Structure 1
Amino acid sequence: MPPKLESRNLSREADGERIVDGVSLSVEEGDVLGVVGPSGAGKSSFLRLLNRLDEPTGGTVFLDGADYRTIPPRELRRRVGYVPQRPALRGGTVRENVTVGPRLRGESVDEADVARVLGRVGLRGYEDRTTDDLSGGEAQRVAIARTILNDPEALLLDEPTASLDAASEAKVESLLEELVGESNTTAVLVTHDRSQAGRLADRVAVFADGRVETVGPTKGILS
């Protein structure tokens, strides 16, 4: 079986600078790959290439062995969900934010599915809350609910707890562990926090200057 996600010689140039430089990495189904390294190492840029939020200028990515350029972008982004560092919620209610993906695709949304997803992220009964009334941790959990309502096969997580306090960080980490463990979801986690990578990731890739310096099992790499 091919890996769930695999980048081959993936590169991106912007303003004459190569910010991701020939990255080849694979993530098996159900595994979590942690991506660590200093600021400016290309971690988040690499993540955005994995579901074509940005376009590579070299190389490509395979999803279940299929070149992702053969997959319509809207379908790709449903199958490979992205959770940004900051939730970027729209004004309005939690329900409106969580259901934005299906509504943009012209699909009906089952209220039972909304309640189920909000229950999974610890926000049952929040459907009619406005986004202005949410704490930082609650907003991030709404962003995760918005992504998992699409039932993705893989999650791309860009510093998902970087702006949270310690209590909210622990809740979000626990939620991510539960989601990956229960549904065997594949994930790529970009984090500046090596201890977080140690808690959540099966393998770790260390980035520097847009390239992978080393990759391997979490315990061996981080020790």
Structure 2
Amino acid sequence: MRQPVFALHAASVHFGHPARAVRALSEVSLQIHAGERVALVGANGCGKSTLLRLLHGLLPSTAGRFEPDPALRQAMLFQKPHLMRLSVQANVALGLWLQGTAWGQAKALALAALAKVGLIDLAQRNARQLSGGQQQRVAMARAWALQPQVLLLDEPTASLDPTTTDRVVALLQSIKAEGVAMLAIFHHPELVDRLADRVVTLTPPVSAAELLEPIAS
């Protein structure tokens, strides 16, 4: 039996003052195992992005139990990646440097990652001058360069044209072949079929009427 890289037990996330809090995620129990590829689906507002941010340590759980592994190497790819006003190469190298890699080595590893995503010719370009699809591929190179055991993906093909979507999917398939566990939000069934081993469906935690009632502290 593979060991879980993530384990949540009735985990919830609430926003706002306790007396008037809104449930963004309600009592989710979930395990993701090493090497597993899971698609996260559900209607808007059901907590998919909140769940990814909880798993990545960007949000605390309000209730329940979340058992993160401090030694786990993980990376997250956001729907709209944030890139610094630096070269493409420096944007990728920066994450490695922050993890303790010497700057010279980080730059060399960044070039290898850019080669993987087909952007090595743009290594010295200002990252913010690239197209949306190119920026998404830079963000993917930055994530892959960290050699994560788990990759969290928040709609990685949102707002991309079909050609760029195919390129991103091909990159994700190559990462999948390397045994990296993935938890990804997808809205297109075709992407679920191509990239996922298992599907997890989230439903909205509360109705609109329930949002008017305070959550018991």
What's 1:57 paired with? 62
What's 2:4 paired with? 3
- Give the AA of the match of 2:62: T
1:119 aligns with 2:120: no
| Identity percentage of aligned residues | 35
User: After the TM superposition, which of the residue ranges 105-114 and 32-41 deviates more from structure 2?
Assistant: 105-114
CA distance in 2, matches of 1:11, 1:137: 33
What's 1:192 paired with? 187
What's 1:12 paired with? 13
| Structure 2 segments unaligned to the other structure (5+ residues) | 207-217
User: After the TM superposition, which of the residue ranges 34-43 and 22-31 deviates more from structure 2?
Assistant: 22-31
> Cα deviations across residues 56-94 of structure 1 (Å, max 9, x unaligned)?
1123333xxxx44xx2xxx65xx1110000011111210
| Structure 1 segments unaligned to the other structure (5+ residues) | 212-223
What's 1:89 paired with? 83
1:35 aligns with 2:40: yes
Displacement of 1:207 in angstroms is 0.9
- Give the AA of the match of 1:56: S
Q: Assess if the C-alpha contact under 8 Å between 1:10 and 1:60 holds in 2.
A: yes
Q: Secondary structure at the match of 2:43?
A: coil
- Give the AA of the match of 2:63: G
CA distance in 2, matches of 1:194, 1:61: 29
Sort the Cα spacing of 1:145 and 1:25 in 2 relative to 1 into closer, same or farther, 3 A.
same
What's 2:97 paired with? 103
TM-score calculated relative to the size of structure 2 = 0.85
1:131 aligns with 2:127: yes
Give the paired residue count: 199
> Cα deviations across residues 128-160 of structure 1 (Å, max 9, x unaligned)?
111133121110010011111111110000001
CA distance in 2, matches of 1:35, 1:210: 15
Q: Give the superposed CA RMSD.
A: 1.7
Rg larger in 1 or in 2? 2
TM-score calculated relative to the size of structure 1 = 0.83
